[in-house]
Amino acid sequence: MLSIRHLSKTFNAGTVNEKQALRDLSLEVPDGDFITIIGSNGAGKSTLFNAICGTFYADAGEIVLAGADITYLPEYKRYHEIGHIFQDPMKGTAPHMTIEENLSIAYFRAGRAGTLRRVSRADKALFREQLALLDMGLEDRMKSPVGLLSGGQRQALTLLMATMVTPKLLLLDEHTAALDPATADKVLSLTMDIVSARRLTCLMVTHNMHQALSLGNRTIMMDGGKIVLDVRDETRAGMTVQDLLDQFAAGTGSALDADRILLSKKPQ
């Protein structure tokens, strides 16, 4: 269970560039929820994820994960509990290190193996087995530097690294948006497989409204640092993309700014 209570974050407070990115935002996420998040650019979606991960601390409010108050826990102490995947496939992996080295870092960092030690034969077998699940032939390239992989392969590897040791929470920030459509489909279906096989609790930002409604069990819309719509289960099952747009307009008094969103009305 993730509980976010009255979270606020203002950037550059007291300057002309002051920006209130999160405004008294509260959200309860029961274990096993898969929430899709949509909202205009600048709505505060990435800021919410960064606050949950500890990239920076919120100014007010609290974040409780599995009963522990992590509001002011340093980022490095949250790594093993929270997987965070970004839009940019270059971000989640170290290009000059091999696939095996990247996986080892993720594996050790997640704490399963305790303190740093050499990668054992059993670890390698596990890495190979996990890589094979991606169905991209990476299990035969474990000694290749990650920099040689395609964006889609790197994103799939990042996904594996984030979930190899089951996280309490997986945060996906438009993690397929920078990939070509076929690769995006592939990475998305891998994501869905991993999330359901491990019963992960997951928040996923997407700009694709069809995806938002069809994936997971719950959809949240954000605007101006707040949640303006939160629908789940049967209520959501009966909704169309137009309903979502209408409800957004009703909740905020303005239309969703989203060229990108409107352009991607069709499923990707």
Ligand X SMILES: Nc1ncnc2c1ncn2[C@@H]1O[C@H](COP(=O)(O)OP(=O)(O)O)[C@@H](O)[C@H]1O
* Residues of this chain that bind Mg ion (CB under 5 A): 45-46
- Which one of ligand X, Mg ion, none interacts with residue 11, CB within 5 to 8 A by kind? ligand X
User: Which of residues 41 and 235 has its CB atom nearest to ligand X in the complex?
Assistant: 41
Query: Given candidates 2, 7, 21, 187, which one binds ligand X under the rule CB under 6 A?
Result: 21
Give the pairing of strands 19-29 and 2-11: antiparallel
Query: Is the alpha carbon torsion for 137, 143, 146, 150 positive or negative?
Result: negative
- Which one of ligand X, Mg ion, none interacts with residue 39, CB within 5 to 8 A by kind? ligand X
**Encoding tokens for residue 32?**
């096993």
Query: Given candidates 11, 62, 192, 258, which one binds ligand X under the rule CB under 6 A?
Result: 11
- Which one of ligand X, Mg ion, none interacts with residue 115, CB within 5 to 8 A by kind? none
User: Which of residues 45 and 186 has its CB atom nearest to ligand X in the complex?
Assistant: 45
Query: One symbol per residue from 35 to 74: x for binding ligand X (CB under 6 A), - otherwise; what is it?
Result: ----x-xxxxxxx---------------------------
Tell me the closest approach of the beta carbon of residue 9 to ligand X, in angstroms. 8
Distance CA 112, CA 151 (A): 28
Query: Is the alpha carbon torsion for 195, 196, 199, 201 positive or negative?
Result: positive
Tell me the closest approach of the beta carbon of residue 209 to ligand X, in angstroms. 15
Across the chain, the runs of DSSP E, i.e. the strands, are 2-11, 19-29, 34-39, 60-65, 68-69, 82-85, 169-173, 202-205, 218-223, 226-232
Tell me the closest approach of the beta carbon of residue 183 to ligand X, in angstroms. 22
- φ, ψ for residue 39, nearest 5 deg: 165, 160
Percentages helix, strand, coil for the chain (3-state, rounded to 5) are 40, 25, 40
Distance CA 9, CA 47 (A): 8
C-alpha pair distances (Å), 170 with each of 20, 148, 153, 205, 246: 25, 26, 19, 11, 29
User: Which of residues 38 and 106 has its CB atom nearest to Mg ion in the complex?
Assistant: 38
Strand partners, 172: 85, 204
Q: Is residue 106 near ligand X by the rule CB under 6 A? A: no
Tell me the closest approach of the beta carbon of residue 116 to Mg ion, in angstroms. 33
User: Which of residues 46 and 252 has its CB atom nearest to Mg ion in the complex?
Assistant: 46
Amino acid at 198: R
User: Which of residues 38 and 149 has its CB atom nearest to ligand X in the complex?
Assistant: 38
Tell me the closest approach of the beta carbon of residue 172 to ligand X, in angstroms. 12
Tell me the closest approach of the beta carbon of residue 237 to ligand X, in angstroms. 26
User: Which of residues 46 and 71 has its CB atom nearest to Mg ion in the complex?
Assistant: 46
- Which one of Mg ion, ligand X, none interacts with residue 204, CB within 5 to 8 A by kind? none
Asked whether 26 and 5 are in contact (CB, 8 A), the reply is yes
Query: Which residues bind to ligand X, rule: CB under 6 A?
Result: 11-12, 19, 21, 39, 41-47
